[in-house]
Every structure is written in C-alpha cells, then in structure tokens.
Copies of this chain bind each other. A is one copy, B any other.
Amino acid sequence: MITGFWYPRTAGGRSSLIPAPPWHYSGDLLTIEYRTDPARVRELLPEPLDLAPEDPGAVALIWADWQSCSASGEELLDPVRAQYKEAFAVVRCSYRGRTYSRCVYIWVDKDFAVARGIHQGYPKKLGSIHLTRPHPYGPAPRIEAGARFGATLAAADRRLAQAVVTLTEPAGNNGFVNAHPMAHHRWLPSIDKGGGLALDELIESGAAAAEGGTPWRGVADLELFEAPTEELARLEIREPIGAYYRQVGVVWDGGTLLEAKERS
C-alpha cells in the first residue's frame, strides 16, 4: 500500500516532496502591471482559451517572498522546507464567457514549490529571485509613501528582469490582472516518442481563503532582458499601468477540472 501526495510515494508517505493540500502561505507580493501587444498574449493562449474582452494586453509581473506549510505547520520550524521566493508573469484570458487569470511564466527557488506548481498547472522553472523586504528598523524600507523596493529575477545565470517600485499611497486593491481564478493547463507528454499528450487538462483554481494588509500603490521602473531559453521579454512593455505592494496570508486547497482531452 503506497501513500503520499506525490513523488516519492512510499508505505509511510513521509518522503513525499509535497504534502496533501491545504497549503498555507504567508508572504509579500510586489506586483507590476503594464500593457503589452495583445498579440503577444494571444500567442500564449492555447485553445479553447481566448483573449480577455477588456484590456487584453494587460500583464502582471509579480515577485513573492513566501513562507508556506502544510496544515500541521511543521515546515515553518525547519524553514529550509518553508521559505521560497518566486517571480511570475500573469495574463488574463477568456473561457466560456468568463475572465480568468493565467500564469504564463514562473520561476521559483525550491523544489517543493516546483512540485506544487506542476500540480497546479504553473509552468515552473528554477530561478534566483530577490525582493527587498520591509523592516521596522534600519535602512530597509517601511511600508509607507516613498518606500522603495527592488526586485530581480535570474535563471541559468542570466538576469531576466529587474524593477524598482516606489510606493505612493494606499490603494483599494492589489491590481486586476491576477485578480481572477486561474485557468491553467496540466500537461504531461506521452512517454511514447511523438505520442502527444498523456495528460491534457484545463483546470480552475484559486485561493480557498485569503487575508491581507492594506495594499499600497506605487510607480515602477521595470526592465526585461533577452535570454536564449526565455521568452518573457516578448511581453514587451508598451504602457505602464501601476505597481502594488501587499502582505498577505493565503490558503490553497485544490481546484476544479474544467475539461480534459483524451490521451492523444
């Protein structure tokens, strides 16, 4: 009798890289929204997804500094198993008349975050992600007008993005691009050479619970860089929308299958 939420599955289940949901998160989110050419968004949306009807070229590039754990919370006390950072690009799309958010690129710095992402349909790679943290003393910023936060992303020893956000005022929300349920594909190629996809699911997922502090609005200076194995910079910056900083607590507890294609 083999148990465990995912690999490696064993009799005891203790080895599984990730525990069964719910997964609990504490973290800081730096969000930068801008408009790109909608055609660049469209080319990332597989059937049956289409562009969102309003502001179809909107992109959110988000840095997050997380501590996460299972229901037991034990990972928080061995923090190498709880702490990770990520940077990800989100667009919006339309499915059966409803608008969804969709993560098109994401980099994280821990294996458990990669594994959770594959379960959730996030296209995860490893990267090196850094984000200024607020602090009540010394030179690091408080969360207040004029505070400046830096954020950087690198993968395969190349810098892919960097930003500086200066906070200006409290805001009513944390941006609109990543504010919908996620519509993600869970894909796995067939093990047979040239055999198409063994798994091809469109799923919906979102937070089961969320809390957070006052969002802050800011202005962003964002740069994207080319790299041979990345296409993030194709989502070129045509027009800034805004920037946001918010501290949040989130629970994720599964999603819903929207549709699945048969093994192709």
Q: Which residues of A pack against B, CB within 8 Å? A: 2, 5-12, 14-15, 17, 21, 24-27, 43-46, 67-69, 73, 76-83, 104-106, 110-111, 114, 118-126, 128, 130-133, 135-141, 148-152, 154, 156-159, 162, 164, 185-195, 198-199, 201, 203, 205, 211-213, 228-231, 247-250, 253-257, 260, 263
Contacts and interface: CB of A to CB of B under 8 A. Distances in A.
A189 B119 contact: yes
A193 B248 contact: no
A25 B81 CA distance: 26
Per assembly, the copies of the chain total 4
A17 B211 contact: no
Given A77-B164, A118-B188, A201-B198, A230 B139 contact: no
Nearest to A42: B11
A146 to B, nearest CB: 13
Contacts of A156: 78, 80-81
Contact of A8 (B6, B26, B105, B250): B105
28 contacts: A2-B46, A7-B118, A7-B124, A9-B46, A10-B104, A14-B228, A14-B229, A25-B138, A73-B139, A76-B140, A76-B148, A76-B150, A78-B130, A79-B130, A79-B133, A80-B128, A80-B157, A81-B156, A111-B125, A121-B191, A137-B248, A137-B249, A158-B159, A186-B188, A191-B201, A191-B203, A198-B257, A260-B263
